[in-house]
Amino acid sequence: MPGEVTVAEMKALERHAIETAGIPAAVLMENAGRAIAEEARRRSGGGRIVVACGPGANGGDGFVAARHLANAGEAVTVVAFDPGRLSGDALRNFRALPYCDLDLREAHPGEIGTLNALLPGAALVVDALFGTGLSGPVRPPWDGVIEAINAAGRPVLSADIPSGLVPGTAGTPGPAVRADCTVTMHAPKSGMERHAALTGTVVVADIGIPRRPLRNPAP
């Protein structure tokens, strides 16, 4: 398994891949979502997969994963929290979902009734709420979404990092998703090893960032 990278290092890797190597950001998101979908299929046992997506790039990875899962014939429900805040590639992937054979729900993070109704019937929950951009604790109303996922007791797969876990910190400053598996992009993020109780099994996904020219990118 590759060594851990900091958030700054990962951002530099992505920026260099996009700006220097010419790999579109949309391709990186597509590869990330496909990797999540592949692992989700291995773990769902053919049951319904509930994908909980936030309004950022992590949510975009979840939208891509949901599309691939639906295309593979899996039963998928997407809960898109606060979709009005989406932009860029995440928004484009959200807009593709109505053309997919899946169940799409929109919700405000303060209204978790929709999610709570779906969780008991989920064979697997995909946590695509927050990625590595957090610098402090998850605050209301988002903390309630995380607490609902944890309370449901269903198997959870987190996208890149369990939502609420702040990379590089010794402890979690607030609630964090307790995942059974984390599909992390390119390399584990700093602090994941010490938080194995939250990450579960870590699967490192190759999302297409060239490794040789990007070993030591300047942050």
Buried b (16+ CB within 10 A) or exposed e, 175-213: bbbbbebbbbbbbbbbbbeebeebbbebbebebbbeeee
Give the pLDDT score at 171.
Answer: 66
Give the pLDDT score at 214.
Answer: 45
Q: Quick check: is 217 in a domain?
A: no
Give the pLDDT score at 168.
Answer: 79
Give the pLDDT score at 170.
Answer: 64
The low-confidence residues of the chain, meaning pLDDT below 50, are 214, 218
**What length is written for the chain?**
219
Q: Quick check: is 24 in a domain?
A: no
- pLDDT tens, position by position, 145-168: 999 999 999 999 999 999 999 987
- Residue 42 tokens read as 């291995």
Kindly state the DSSP code that residue 24 receives in the 8-state scheme. -
Q: Quick check: is 148 in a domain?
A: yes
* Total structural domains within the chain: 1
> Domain residues for 192?
7-18+30-209
CATH number at residue 183: 3.40.50.10260
Q: Quick check: is 215 in a domain?
A: no
Q: What is the pTM of this model?
A: 0.95
Give the pLDDT score at 1.
Answer: 60
Residues 68, 127, 180, 192: is their CA dihedral positive or negative? positive
Measured CA to CA, the distance from residue 68 to residue 139 in angstroms comes to: 31
Q: Quick check: is 2 in a domain?
A: no
Measured CA to CA, the distance from residue 54 to residue 142 in angstroms comes to: 9
Q: Quick check: is 25 in a domain?
A: no
Q: What is the CA radius of gyration of the chain?
A: 16
Q: Quick check: is 125 in a domain?
A: yes
